[in-house]
Amino acid sequence: MRTALEKARKDPESMKARILAAARGVFGEYGFHGTTTRMIAKKVGIDISTLHYHWGDKKDLFEAVILDMNRDLGRELIEVEKSIHGRPLGERMKIAIAMTTDYLFAHPEISNLVLHRYFSKTRHEVNLDFKVTEFTGDIARSMGLTTDPKKTPPQGMLEVLTVMNGIHNFVSGENFFRPMVKLDREEYITMVKETLQFVLIAGFTNREGKELQKV
């Protein structure tokens, strides 16, 4: 399956890649059990047997989707880290929130998939590393929430999760939340960024201020 993924990545026009892209979207919207292989095949405009030919069974395809999504998310986080390197904490967070929010709104299926995996059980075990721990630790280090670069303390992990999940929530919940506030998409995205920056940053900068005072 690893090779299949690589093939799909090489040529985005290939059938493998088209199926993978469609699967990302549908699995994201409906979850694993809410998605049928027929739904994916229909979206691509092919027969289900073609789908199975390229990706094996439903679980294999799902795992490929997770790996693929994981890679994209990881790359984006690296981009973010590049952009914030060296700046003061408040600014780092502000930029990181804005960049990540924009990116995820452009690829909402990523947030969908992430949240599904957090909150939903699958009847048959899907065993995948998912890299969340790794990513979370990286972000924590990048935000200076830990001194030991090897392992992040629980507190730092939960703090990062609070921020990341705050973003995912508004991206993935757009269909639900946007009608509540009656904004068009652009306004919604802007207001989400402002709200997240307003709510999520102050705690961290306040703490840093206190620590600096001590010194």
Interface residue list for its own copies (CB under 8 A): 29-34, 112, 115-123, 132-133, 136, 154-155, 157-159, 161-163, 165-166, 169-170, 172-173, 175-177, 180-183, 191-192, 194-196, 198-204, 206-207
- Of 106 and 199, which CB lies nearer to its own copies in the complex structure? 199
Give the pair of three-digit tokens for residue 63: 């795992």
Neighbouring CB atoms inside 10 A of 28's CB total: 22
Binds DNA by CB under 7 A, chosen from 10, 11, 12, 47? 47
Contacted entry of DNA, its own copies, none for residue 15, CB cut-off 5 to 8 Å set by kind = DNA
Any contact of residue 52 with DNA (CB under 7 A)? yes
- Of 17 and 73, which CB lies nearer to its own copies in the complex structure? 73
Neighbouring CB atoms inside 10 A of 40's CB total: 25
- With beta carbons less than 8 A apart as the criterion, state whether 65 and 80 touch: no
- Of 138 and 159, which CB lies nearer to its own copies in the complex structure? 159
CA distances from 200 to 22, 175, 179, 193 (A): 33, 23, 23, 10
Give the pair of three-digit tokens for residue 19: 């199926």
